[in-house]
Chain A
């Protein structure tokens, strides 16, 4: 699975995700990537999120929308919301994976509870950041 989230100069957020699915999947199994609210969500009032991991958990816990809702209704930061969902809620449930997230101030959070996550980011006027492991 691959994904991107972005904030543009007009202050608009977009989230996108694309995937080849799960190795050896059968019966037309679909994971979280194409499910709005689970693997992809964007709302200028809070944040944009793209997820990757064990799809069944990301669907059941509507991970992408949950992170944005926590920001919007609990008034917590992007990083606090993303880490709460990825490193508490999902770990508790046994769901492995991670997210990339950005808010309307340009803050970026990329938590994951698996061994690694291919990720990169770049903010206005700064050098790019690329990482795979913790």
Chain B
């Protein structure tokens, strides 16, 4: 019998992850969360579940961790809030679902899946996406649910850099261009 092929890969973001900032204890936390997410998805595949179920389950574990810039660990906007985006695509039907700029949806990937499966659209944004989430009974939270100390400090550092550069360059866009790459990453 042909060997059953199934597999999963996950990521928690790329960027200027500097070894000097990564203590062994911190690195272990990241690796343990990645391991939990990939094994959760793998177990579903091994049980014969769909790749869609595996992708959603793995991403929701990372959305619920404050370590990664998604869901619970989302970064702050310039105004001190959180705006989240997500998307999903089915390779068999080429159907897809996506949401952008949502503020009160606990699991953005779950909403993207609803858009894919229960709407005639591919992408919903902002208040419309929130309305759709409410109608579909998804878990909604206050925007402050996504607050974390570490990300708030990152926002303060970014705004300080931006203010310095904006004074010098007299232009926000130009100042933003000068920010180190890690401020430009999703």
A-side residues, CB < 8 A to B, are 1-26, 28, 30-36, 39-45, 48, 50, 52-56, 96-102, 104-106, 108, 110, 112, 114-125, 128, 130, 132-133
Contacts and interface: CB of A to CB of B under 8 A. Distances in A.
A2 B172 CA distance: 28
B9 A100 contact: yes
A114 B16 contact: yes
Contacts of B59: 2-4, 16-18
B83 A21 contact: yes
A30 B129 CA distance: 14
A23 B125 CA distance: 19
A116 B10 contact: no
B178 to A, nearest CB: 13
B155 A1 contact: no
B68 A21 contact: no
Contacts of B41: 4, 6, 122
Contact of B101 (A30, A36, A114): A30
Nearest to A110: B9
The prevalent SS among residues of B at the interface is mixed
A35 B97 CA distance: 10
A23 B158 contact: yes
A23 B39 contact: no
Contact of A43 (B58, B69, B86, B91): B91
B5 A21 contact: no
A134 to B, nearest CB: 10
Contact of A17 (B15, B18, B78, B87): B87
Interface in B135-153: 146, 151
A21 B11 contact: no
A113 to B, nearest CB: 8
A122 B38 contact: yes
Nearest to A100: B9
A26 B10 contact: no
Contacts of A118: 11-14, 17, 30, 34, 68
A53 B109 CA distance: 18
A2 B84 contact: no
A116 B15 contact: yes
Contacts of B90: 12, 14, 42
B70 A1 contact: yes
A17 B179 CA distance: 24
A28 B6 contact: no
A130 B31 contact: yes
A52 B155 CA distance: 20
